[in-house]
Amino acid sequence: MAPFQQRSPRCPSHRTSGVTPWPQRARRASVALLTLVSSVALSACSGDGGFSAAEPARGPGQFVGRTAPLNDTFGGGAGGDNTPRALGVGELADWRSCGAACQAHCASQTFANPLDEAMCPHLWGAGLDTRPINETEACRRMYVDLAGYFPTLFEIERSCLGRPADEVALRLISSDEFVRVNQLHWSDQLRYDNISVNFERIFDADELVGKTYRGLVRYDEFLEVMSAHPVLTRRFDNPGDRVEALFTLFLGRPPFDNERADMAKLYTLWNNHYVDHPQLGMRLPDAFIQHACVDERGNIDPNTQGQCTSLLWGYNQVILEPDFRANEGRTWSENLTEEEWRILQTPGRILSVRSEAWEHAVSDVLEQYLGYNLAFYAPSVLQPLVEYLFAHGGDIRSIHYVVATSQLYRQTTTCPDDVCGDDLNPPEWTFGPLKQVDSQVWLDTLERFGSTDIGNCDRRLPNTRDLAQAGVYGVDVLVSSEWTLNDEGRVDERYRDVARTLGGCPDNQVTTRFQAISILNTATQESFVAEMCNPGGSSENPVDAARILPESVAANRALDDTVAEEVVEYQVRTYFGRAATTDEREMARVGGAACVPQPCDAETFARVICYALLSSGEMLFY
């Protein structure tokens, strides 16, 4: 196991122990002096690099992380195709109970992938089978789920075809795109909102997620830090609500009343207010510790310490004794030491040793990839996956690897009616998962295909107005973020505007990311594609012909069957990441013949094909 990468807080780090009493006499004698010193220290700190617009992350995430990943590779992976048990005459497949014949069948199979093995009693052992997938479809799906965009056939050929699925999955999981996909996932889970939470803490949380998905932080460490991270505590007003958020986030259920009441005592110290930021000249929301359960001298008060003590999961106490950093009994979160953070993270340590937390982590990954809650139907799959996760040192990436290489995930979504049409209610794991693509994945992909640039949005700073008005440091923060500024120096909101209509770039104040199919969404998607492809040939919106035509076809070339097929083949390969089907070639010929004004040229036809393909369901579902 690699050691922690120890990092000191940028400002100030005075103590290493939260409950170790500050020497009383020294403190009493030095209060006035220390107050003066601390004021000087804090002001000096704030002016000499305590804040960096380019790297604004400040918070407890800075104290965790390794220099090398927990794992360079993972065990198991994709195995061979398993065979279903032959059912007796009149016997129906029963995936709910696995009898002797089922168990014997599963025992006779060879499994490389622990998810496949765990699913055998509900699948092959029950007499059911999976739907085999071709490499192209599998690769396209993996790119969307693991890298966050649709690949072209060229990319698929270069990176997937002829390569083992294990290798492809491992390479994608090791990529920056994978980290970003999961940073986006957690920004939704934690609902980053810089109106309610100091953006420096949000950046810190985002970096922590990044370290977790680079394999530098164990999942339990991640849970512990998040349990007392201001991105969680600052969003809620009272201890009970914080407990509820913690349970919902990491156990997948709200706490029972006794759990809520008891663990709330470990959140007694947390409070919310606003703090003046010296460089930005802004008043930012932030969390602070109100030193409760201590007497007027700052020592643990035996009469009130019960208000900060939990007994339901053993004896756990969260009390921090104030020192010179405390003003009016408050210590702001950015001034807490590593040891104090460790004490505050007690709720996370309580949860991280519960099997529920690990099972929920696994379940969450399964749902990310399969689009449904597999554990609801087959809860027995969770335990072996949790063991697999433990075997990989708590590296959550291992579960992503195992699911992405499983036969369960690597199934085709297609099936002819004469093969699948008779079974009206097959289990969802007997065919591939068809999911609606996230609006930002859709937008990013179309931007790649069209080579257009309409900016971006930054998950860590959903609200830009205050920073834009805060002066040079605020603008510096925006410039260093994923937002882009236009020629007038204002935030380019074009991408955000389209994405928010479609359900992306959420502000996270009250609304979160959503997926919908509605008249407005559909009209927006169609119009966005129409702008890219210009199917009607408007002179106001010319399209770069090189983007929609194969190299060998000139824009003004007369359209015939061969050219029409070439255009369709080229665009299907680029947009859908596969070769054109016979039906699509037929469509090319028929559509080409109908093209007007005659004689039609290649570009006129290509613009319409571009619209037909990019606005189709194949770009919306994968």
Partner 1 sequence: MTRRKPTSSKSTATEKAPFALSRRGFLKVGAAGLAASSVPSLFIPNRAIAQTGGRGTIKHLLYVRLSGGFRFPTAFNADVSGAYNPFGSASGVPSGVDWGVSNLLMRAGFLDANRTAAGMQPVHQLADRITVMPTVDHEPLAGYADGNHTTGLERYYTGYVNGSAGFFTRINLGLADRYATALSEGRVLLPPFVMGGAAMARGLGAFAPYRPPVLSGGSFDRFAASAAGAIPDWGRPMVTATDARMRDRQHLRQRDRVDAYVQSRAATEAYAQIFADPLLATDRASDTLVDGISNTELSMLFGTSSSARDIRLALRLFHFGCPAVYLDQGGYDYHSGEQDRLPGSMEALNQLTSALINVLPRMSHPDGGTYWDHTLVVYGSEFSRTARGDRFNSARGSDHNGDNSTRWMSMPFFGGPVPGGRMVGATTARDDLRAEGTVYSYRSVLNTLMDGLGCDPEVAFPADPVVPDLFG
Q: Give the footprint of partner 1 on residues 433-462 (CB under 8 A).
A: 434, 436
Tokens coding 593:
């013949």
- Out of 91, 237, 295, 544, point to the residue binding partner 1 (CB under 8 A): 237
Distance of closest approach, residue 567 Cβ to partner 1, in angstroms: 11
Q: Give the footprint of partner 1 on residues 178-217 (CB under 8 A).
A: 193, 195-196
Beta strand 309-310 with 316-317 is antiparallel
Distance CA 138, CA 182 (A): 20
Q: Is 583 in the site for partner 1 (CB under 8 A)?
A: yes
Q: Is 328 in the site for partner 1 (CB under 8 A)?
A: no
- C-beta closer to partner 1: residue 309 or 524: 524
- Out of 16, 43, 451, 511, point to the residue binding partner 1 (CB under 8 A): 511
- C-beta closer to partner 1: residue 17 or 509: 509
- C-beta closer to partner 1: residue 54 or 510: 510
To which H or E segment does residue 288 belong?
strand 282-290
Distance of closest approach, residue 123 Cβ to partner 1, in angstroms: 16
- C-beta closer to partner 1: residue 36 or 523: 523
Q: Is 534 in the site for partner 1 (CB under 8 A)?
A: yes
SS3 510: coil
Q: Are 148 and 177 in contact (CB under 8 A)?
A: yes
Q: Is 563 in the site for partner 1 (CB under 8 A)?
A: no
Q: Is 465 in the site for partner 1 (CB under 8 A)?
A: yes
- Out of 466, 480, 560, 589, point to the residue binding partner 1 (CB under 8 A): 466
- Out of 154, 256, 372, 621, point to the residue binding partner 1 (CB under 8 A): 621
Q: Is 531 in the site for partner 1 (CB under 8 A)?
A: yes
Region from 86-94, 301-309, 472-480, 524-532 binding partner 1, contact rule CB under 8 A: 524-532
Q: DSSP letters of 122-135?
A: GTTTTT-------H
The number of residues that bind partner 1 (CB under 8 A) is 85
Q: Is 497 in the site for partner 1 (CB under 8 A)?
A: yes
Region of 598 on the Ramachandran plot (φ > 0 left; ψ -120 to 50 alpha; else beta): beta
Q: Is 541 in the site for partner 1 (CB under 8 A)?
A: yes
Q: Give the footprint of partner 1 on residues 18-47 (CB under 8 A).
A: none
Q: How far is CA 2 from CA 66, 216, 252, 341, 515, in A?
A: 6, 9, 30, 21, 40
Q: Is 493 in the site for partner 1 (CB under 8 A)?
A: yes
Q: Give the footprint of partner 1 on residues 92-131 (CB under 8 A).
A: 131
Q: Give the footprint of partner 1 on residues 417-436 (CB under 8 A).
A: 417, 420-421, 424, 426, 428, 431-432, 434, 436
Q: Is 327 in the site for partner 1 (CB under 8 A)?
A: no
- C-beta closer to partner 1: residue 270 or 401: 270
- C-beta closer to partner 1: residue 37 or 523: 523
Tokens coding 384:
């072996």
Q: Give the footprint of partner 1 on residues 131-170 (CB under 8 A).
A: 131
- C-beta closer to partner 1: residue 75 or 427: 427
Distance of closest approach, residue 413 Cβ to partner 1, in angstroms: 6
Q: Give the footprint of partner 1 on residues 343-362 (CB under 8 A).
A: none
Q: Are 385 and 362 in contact (CB under 8 A)?
A: yes
- Out of 66, 218, 400, 500, point to the residue binding partner 1 (CB under 8 A): 500
What number of CA atoms fall less than 13 Å from residue 446's CA on the CB side? 29
Region of 540 on the Ramachandran plot (φ > 0 left; ψ -120 to 50 alpha; else beta): alpha
Task: Specify the DSSP class assigned to residue 82.
Answer: P
To which H or E segment does residue 194 belong?
none
Tokens coding 371:
């689009």
Q: Is 177 in the site for partner 1 (CB under 8 A)?
A: no
Distance CA 6, CA 325 (A): 23
Distance of closest approach, residue 171 Cβ to partner 1, in angstroms: 29
- C-beta closer to partner 1: residue 237 or 561: 237
- C-beta closer to partner 1: residue 56 or 535: 535
Q: Are 98 and 126 in contact (CB under 8 A)?
A: yes
Q: Is 579 in the site for partner 1 (CB under 8 A)?
A: no
For 274, phi and psi rounded to 5 degrees? -125, 145
Q: Is 612 in the site for partner 1 (CB under 8 A)?
A: yes
Region from 84-92, 254-262, 389-397, 611-619 binding partner 1, contact rule CB under 8 A: 611-619
Distance CA 456, CA 76 (A): 38
The 10 Å Cβ neighbour count of residue 140 is 22
Give me the amino acid identity at 483.
W
Using only C-alpha atoms, the chain has a radius of gyration, in whole angstroms, of 28
- Out of 45, 112, 261, 415, point to the residue binding partner 1 (CB under 8 A): 415
Q: Give the footprint of partner 1 on residues 260-289 (CB under 8 A).
A: 273-274, 276, 281-285
Q: Are 153 and 579 in contact (CB under 8 A)?
A: yes
- C-beta closer to partner 1: residue 296 or 583: 583
- C-beta closer to partner 1: residue 546 or 594: 594
Distance of closest approach, residue 370 Cβ to partner 1, in angstroms: 13
Distance CA 17, CA 231 (A): 23
Tokens coding 203:
């950046």
Q: Is 518 in the site for partner 1 (CB under 8 A)?
A: yes
To which H or E segment does residue 289 belong?
strand 282-290
Closest C-alpha to 198, from 60, 341, 43, 8 = 60
Distance of closest approach, residue 579 Cβ to partner 1, in angstroms: 14
Distance CA 435, CA 618 (A): 11
Partners of residue 286 on adjacent β-strands: 273
Distance CA 139, CA 142 (A): 5
